[in-house]
A and B are shown apart, each in its own frame.
Chain A
Amino acid sequence: MTTLIDTASHHAGHTDQLITPDWAEIVRITPEADGVTTFWFKFTSPEVQARYRFAPGQFNMLYLPGCGEAAISMSSDPDAPDRLVGHTTRLVGNVTKGIGKLQVGDTVGMRGPFGTCWPMAELEGKDLVIACGGIGLPPLRPAIYHILRSREKYGKVTLLYGARTPKDLLYQNEYETWKQADIDVQVTVDRGDEAWDGRVGVVPMWFYHFRVDPQKTAILTCGPEIMIRFVIYEALARRIPAGRIYVSMERNMKCGQGACGHCQMGPYFVCKDGPVFPFSALEKFFNVEEF
């Protein structure tokens, strides 16, 4: 089997319990766009709050009693001094809609962190193209924060981000800070509005507007599967090796520990062998329909 990303050091502590959550309290709610909200959590147990760490790209299982659990990536800064855990989510499913009705002070169940991370240490010295669409930016924001904290360790960093309309663009008030840190922030929308004077088009098309050095460029991508697909094609066409294209995959997940079977993709359990995979691990069956 292809080498996967090793995140052993970031695994969750609760290996003795099946799926028993800790409780976390909502301390802040940030509306981001229509139907998209960031919830900021703090564990109610000070001991868990002090112990909890995650790496960019990992996810938690959020549990709302009576509704169920959902796998949501962290979207916050893993090294933030306040150690709050941020989850940006679209309010579309049973669980996320239920969480959407909660207020500051309410509690939800939380298990994690689970899964592999963007291999930030391995990527040092590389040029990075972060290509994401819609709700695919939140799982990459912790990676951006990591880059901001040690900007000198990375080469050229380009963020290609697309959304359906200008109103759907997330984290708009942060783009300026990112640009000041020498991140090339390129934003595109599927449909503009009267006020929009930026680019219109899909994320993969952006590859035609700049040059990448295949010797030292790595791709980090997350978003709708169709976008990921074309980002990969464009990256491969520019001779970026499959092992340096990192993809965050989405599947139905129930346990987060490779136990319940739901998230299988061929030999992998996306919840523990992913969600972040080098494309070289997926290549064999990426084009197989309904796999």
Chain B
Amino acid sequence: MTDQQPSIGSTVALAKPELDGLLADLRRGGFRTVGPRARDEGIVYAEIESLADLPRGIQTAQKPASYRMTQTGQNRCFDFIPGSQSWKQFLFPPRTELFTARKESGKWKLDENIEEQPRYAFIGVRACELAAIEIQDRVFMRPDFTDPVYRARRAGLFILAVNCTHPNDTCFCTSMGTGPAHKAGYDLCLTELDEVFLVQVGSELGRSLLAKRTFDLPSAFVQKNAADALESAARSITRTLDTDGLPELLMDSLESGRWAEIGKRCLSCANCTLVCPTCFCWDATDLPDLTGKTARRERVWDSCFNLQYSYMAGGNTRPTIRSRYRQWLTHKLSTWKDQFGVPGCVGCGRCITWCPASIDLTEEIPALRAEVKK
């Protein structure tokens, strides 16, 4: 035990049960603590109250079109790699009521949805996921247009980050420069070892929460263990995506025959866009009641793989799967950069794991590259 106060930038060792107190303090402070839970053979993000809710002793193995959980029996809570869900469901909810239109004596009136936005504490954010949140910040909080729902939720957000020590086969964060270790952007960042969490302090709020806990200064032994774990995690990532000249490569490949080949395999199911932590497209739909006198207007997630996404009176802009896949991939890795200054991919590998047809962008890009070289 130490009498020293933690400071921003410093690292302390926290006994694992101390995390319970931290979660309780966050909840007392008005935060809804959400984190990983094992459910239905996968990891989901849901409300958690204590360490006991975390997926203890679980590792995952991910491959194209495959996600499996295994029990290790070890006393570790963050050894898995996240499942199909990402944090975007909390900052950019899949369904948001915008307003209800009501017809009164022949005229439409509008009841705006003035619900207060919840304040979240994300528990266990990976480096690739934090990078995805920072990409969505650019999307939803542009200088010329800011999404009010996203802004309110983002402003109140507490991020407890976790460094990845057991990456899976579909991970390629090292190629995208986003992980597996965190650099910045968190309030607190954990590296999990068998007995303790090594905690880095990233913000004043993180510091003040940590100050209420019992912690130790980390021994050189513990620090070396953590550094070794992170180094070996980075080394274990073998999947790569060559990003050199990638935006230009894709724009030069618009007429490639490869798109038609992928189009034959792609089911246009939209899984990749729903699991993608950066995909942001949405639709607005009306839910009228049976009398036609009120209509609830909602914003819902949409996907460029849906046929009606490009519907116009004169015909669909992208009627074929070939053109819809091309739209998704060229947007993600090329035109996204024109729009927001960074590519729209963080290398989390979800689109590979959750594609039922095992379509793998880290295979498609080299194939396009080989064509251009010819």
Contacts and interface: CB of A to CB of B under 8 A. Distances in A.
A16 B148 contact: yes
B223 interface: no
B110 A23 contact: yes
B329 to A, nearest CB: 13
Contacts of B144: 11, 15, 258, 272
A264 B98 contact: no
Contact of B281 (A11, A106, A261): A261
A249 to B, nearest CB: 10
Interface residues of A, number: 48
Given A261-B281, A262-B281, A290-B319, 12 more contacts: A17-B112, A18-B98, A65-B101, A68-B286, A250-B312, A252-B309, A257-B145, A261-B282, A262-B309, A262-B310, A264-B327, A264-B331
Contacts of B286: 65-68
Nearest to B323: A290
Interface in B278-292: 280-286, 288, 292
Interface of B: 98-99, 101, 103, 106-108, 110, 112, 139-140, 142, 144-149, 251, 254-255, 280-286, 288, 292, 294-295, 297, 299, 302, 304, 309-314, 317-320, 322-323, 326-327, 330-331, 335, 338-339
Residue from A107, A266, A285 with most neighbouring chain B CB atoms (10 Å): A266
A266 B108 contact: no
Interface string A8-30: 00010001111111010000000
Given A19-B284, A69-B284, A259 B147 contact: yes
A262 B110 contact: no
Contacts of B312: 250-252
A152 interface: no
Contacts of B295: 65-66
Contacts of B101: 65-66, 109
Contacts of A19: 98, 284, 297, 299
Top 5 nearest A-B pairs (CB, nearest first) are A267-B338, A261-B281, A290-B323, A66-B288, A65-B101
A260 to B, nearest CB: 5
Contacts of A1: 338
A252 B317 contact: yes
A93 B98 contact: no
20 contacts: A11-B144, A15-B146, A19-B98, A66-B295, A68-B284, A68-B286, A224-B314, A252-B311, A252-B312, A255-B284, A258-B144, A259-B282, A260-B283, A260-B302, A262-B310, A264-B331, A264-B335, A288-B254, A290-B318, A290-B320
